[in-house]
A and B are shown apart, each in its own frame.
Chain A
Amino acid sequence: MAIVAGVDIGNSTTEVCLAAMESAKVTKFYTSSIVKTTGIKGTLANIPGIVIALEEALKKAGMTMADLSEIRLNEATPVIGDLAMETITETIITESTMIGHNPSTPGGVGLGVGQTVSFSQLESLTSGEKVICVIPENIDFEDAARVLNQALARGIDLQGVIVRQDDAVLIANRLQKIIPVVDEVTMIEKVPIGMLAAVEVAEPGQTIRTLSNPYGIATVFELSAGDTKMVVPIARALIGNRSAVVVRTPQGDVKARTIPAGFITIFGSKGKADIDVESGAGKIMETVERVQPVLDVQGEAGTHVSGMLERVRQVMSELTEQHLDDMKIQDILAVDTFVPQKVQGGLAGEFALENAVALAAMVKTSRLPMEQIANQLRSNLGVKVVIAGVEANMAIRGALTTPGTDKPLAILDMGGGSTDAAIITRDERVLSIHLAGAGDMVTMLINSELGLNDFDLAEDIKKYPLAKVESLYHIRLEDGTVRFYEQHLPPQVFSRVVILKDGEMVPIPSSHPLDKIRHVRREAKKRVFVTNAIRSLSRVAPTGNIRHIEFVVLVGGSAMDFEVGDMVTDALAEYSIVCGRGNIRGSEGSRNAVATGLVLSYLDREA
């Protein structure tokens, strides 16, 4: 009897399957284990991870390294993916012209138009002037209200107030006239004085009407048609706010400019094609499909996209220690997205949503140095190490241990870095394909679209369901059900959207409502996984028609996700394909397919 360990080194995890073999069949599957891959897949840095995974599996089976007769490694597919994102629009405010932020409690209501004056100037003004008062910090609300009321009494036409501190309601409540008051303007000292400005505060529960409308701004400032065109970005940035301030400065200007993103040239076996990145993800992917399989992708020299593709090549070349010229991009997945970016020149940390294209690129290198890993492992552990079979074949073998499957069968391996598909025909021929874009890209999209700037948090949002903390004692889950707690919840999570991660609650530090976060999460998954599922299965389908595939088994880390499996199953049902998450060996779920396949391939050698 031989004890065999199958070891699958993936982009993000290293998995082990441990089994006992008699000459012709597997007598017993003992255990499996899964640990995080150390280093980049296919490099010597993987060894510590492999050893830990082996030890874990052996320990669970009550064995030691000495009991092992053979370790079987996969011939890891030499594909590595990388991600990049490029914004293709940009909003710049030259000179300060707008305050579009949304304090939680603005005061008063209405629209006011007048010259900006500083608080200290107020007493020197004569009656009849239309003014907007700017109040710096460290002025008490009672003092502010008293001085403003005195000014009103002297006949000054006070139209609105801009305040540094969170005092808007307090001041508005003490004024004799109802005027709009906007507060919490952090960079109040940058508000230009002596300029024409407009302040608008909407009724509670409503949004501003005038300053979010280009013609509204034109009316207020008496703009020409040409100028009105220029204020469109301001109006757009203010849509949905309850309060806003727009200041007109002589040289002030807001530009929404399109950054020339450049062309990419896709070299395919059916010819080459140029496509402008600005034309969006849809057009790019159409072009890729037209010329596929892709041999290489290049960007127009001196443009953003070129820099981005070069970066991918550079990183891959360094990792694999192969020449830059050998780095051919074999696939790209483009996804339209948007990025909330801080408006250049804003006064209260305003954001504008900029359009962007996210690209996942995949580089195929020549063989990874698996031989080195095998040798090193052999000398470290003193166990026979064999490199067995191609990853796709092993994955299919493992997938076929799922109850209820038979050949012909297609598998869809959704991992962290790439989406792989393979198909086995009745006569045992295997065809496989690797495409760019998988779990890591979903994380990137979530991170950018929610403006988190925190990859770990984005990863958690991707992996776990959400809930809203509705009181100190109960939360409402995504599906609307309510859960009660006997102990009160910590104040940090009160009224926040939280991630339910292994029994603990992680608050999401943003004001996005639960529905928005859920929508972004699900859309990101759909745009990457559903797109790639259809793309990859069409490529491996024997006739080129996805409808001719009957059975699909989902394997790999991302198939374990709580919703991706269902999304793909749902999408493929349209093509009348039976698709579901694998259950390797009837017990392992969608994990461990390759490792199990590696163990099973031991039998071929014996035969």
Chain B
Amino acid sequence: MLPDQSKPCILIYLAPHPSGKEKLREVQAGMEEEGIPYTVMQSNDTNAAALSYEGASKSKLGVGVGIGPEDLCIHYVKLPAQKPLFSLQEAGSPVQWRHFGYNAARLVKGIPFKDRPSKNESYETNHRDDLYQVVYRIVQKVLQESAQGHGEVKAWSKTL
């Protein structure tokens, strides 16, 4: 299958595998959010670096993304074939996949890359902190109320 040569876009080369669809969705979403067009190609190769390089060399924008079963790469046509610009050497999480989409698009747009999130995505830690705060406040409130009014704390402390 040959990519459409007429249209400038990022080429995503996908090696079919069970989680390929999910990864592809996030990568596409990242590019769409940044407003850069893409075309998806299927390939039998399973090495993401090779896939992404093939994409980059055929893309009119010079940017390719390779999605393999075990890894994920962004490649730029002017880089040496074995050295992709970004590479994720693990299955990764949806947030990480999304960031590959953002950054491939940002390479085209020429704006600074988004920092790569760690495996424990930052949203979740924020969320956990907030949750901790909420729980902390509730516990405080309950303790205060019982200390002020109902005398249960006092009674309890007496028994101690």
Contact = CB atoms under 8 A, between A and B. Distances in A.
Interface of A: 104-105, 137-138, 141, 165-170, 173, 186, 189, 470-473, 488, 491-492, 494-496
A496 B112 contact: yes
Contacts, number: 49
B127 A488 contact: no
A255 to B, nearest CB: 27
B139 interface: no
Interface stretch (B27-35, B40-48, B145-153): B27-35
A472 B32 contact: no
Nearest to A166: B33
Contact of B78 (A173, A186, A473, A496): A473
Q: Please report whether the interface of chain A is mostly helix, strand, loop or mixed according to DSSP.
A: loop
Interface of B: 29, 32-35, 76, 78-79, 85-86, 102, 106-107, 110-113, 123, 126-127, 130
20 contacts: A105-B33, A137-B127, A138-B123, A165-B123, A167-B29, A167-B33, A169-B32, A170-B32, A471-B110, A472-B78, A472-B85, A473-B78, A491-B85, A491-B86, A494-B107, A494-B112, A494-B113, A495-B106, A495-B110, A495-B111
A224 B61 CA distance: 53
Nearest to B34: A105
Nearest to B126: A186
A227 B134 CA distance: 35
B76 A472 contact: yes
A495 B33 contact: no
Contacts of A167: 29, 33
Contact of B79 (A165, A169, A170, A488): A488
Nearest to B134: A189
Given A488-B78, A491-B86, A491-B113, 17 more contacts: A104-B111, A105-B33, A138-B127, A166-B33, A167-B29, A167-B33, A169-B34, A170-B33, A173-B32, A186-B126, A471-B110, A472-B78, A491-B85, A494-B113, A495-B112, A495-B113, A496-B112
Nearest to B79: A488
A168 B33 contact: yes
A105 B35 contact: yes
Contacts of A495: 106, 110-113
Contacts of A491: 85-86, 113
What are the 10 tightest A-B residue pairs by CB atom distance, in nearest-first order? A169-B33, A495-B112, A495-B111, A496-B112, A495-B110, A170-B33, A105-B33, A170-B29, A137-B123, A170-B32
B130 A189 contact: yes
A471 to B, nearest CB: 7
Contacts of A166: 33, 102
A267 B107 CA distance: 60
A217 B102 CA distance: 34
A472 B113 contact: no
Contacts of A170: 29, 32-33
Contact of B29 (A141, A470, A496): A141
B146 to A, nearest CB: 27
Interface centre among B33, B79, B106, B110 (most CB of A within 10 A): B33
A189 to B, nearest CB: 7
Contacts of A186: 126
Contacts of B110: 470-471, 495
Nearest to A164: B123
Nearest to B98: A166
Chain B CB count within 10 A is highest, among A104, A165, A470, A473, for A104
Contacts of B34: 105, 169
Contacts of B32: 169-170, 173
A137 B128 CA distance: 13
Contacts of B127: 137-138
Contacts of A105: 33-35
B84 to A, nearest CB: 11
Contacts of B107: 494
A605 to B, nearest CB: 61
A138 B128 CA distance: 13
A472 B29 CA distance: 24
B87 to A, nearest CB: 11
Nearest to A137: B123
Nearest to B35: A169
A166 B29 CA distance: 10
Nearest to A492: B113
Contacts of A492: 113
A496 B32 CA distance: 23
A169 B127 CA distance: 23
A521 B86 CA distance: 34
A324 to B, nearest CB: 44
Contacts of A165: 123
A22 to B, nearest CB: 62
Nearest to B130: A189
Contact of A472 (B33, B79, B111, B112): B79
Nearest to B127: A137
A186 B129 CA distance: 13
A389 to B, nearest CB: 54
A165 B102 CA distance: 13
Contacts of A472: 76, 78-79, 85
A551 B110 CA distance: 50
Contacts of B111: 104, 495
A139 B112 CA distance: 27
Contacts of B35: 105, 169
Contacts of B79: 472, 488
A472 B78 CA distance: 9
